[in-house]
Amino acid sequence: MDKNRLFWASRRGMLELDLVLQPFLENVYDGLPQEDKERYWALMDCEDQDMFNWFIHRHQPEDPEIQRIVGIVRANTGMQIDS
């Protein structure tokens, strides 16, 4: 997916998601392997409320591919839970 198009897809209807996704796209996305980039593209098709709940650890995605990219986003944006 074109980076400019992905930038606009990462701008969501919730400020909380913008604060997670925009820095991830700017600082981490380019260094991802192609398979994880494609997972990010799939994440952009998910509902905002679902993404928000995943990022704040309220729920886990059922799809293992989406689980993986959610974990990567969490780990790189300060959304991980410290053990």
In a domain, 82, yes or no: no
For 2-29, letters b (16+ CB in 10 Å) and e give eeeebeebbebeeeebeebbebbbeebb
Q: Please tell me the pTM assigned to this model.
A: 0.89
Query: Is the pLDDT at 83 greater than 70, yes or no?
Result: no
CATH number of the domain that residue 39 is part of: 1.10.150.250
Report if residue 83 sits inside a domain: no
Q: Is residue 23 part of a domain?
A: yes
- Tell me, rounded to whole angstroms, the distance of Cα 73 from its chain centroid: 5
Which range of residues forms the domain containing residue 60? Answer: 3-76
Establish if 81 belongs to a structural domain.
no
Q: What is the pLDDT of residues 22-58, one digit of tens each?
A: 999 999 999 999 999 999 999 999 999 999 999 999 9
Residue 17 falls within a domain, yes or no?
Answer: yes
Please, which residues have CB within 8 angstroms of residue 13's CB and are 6 or more apart in sequence?
A: 48
Total domain count, the chain: 1
Domain contains 43: yes
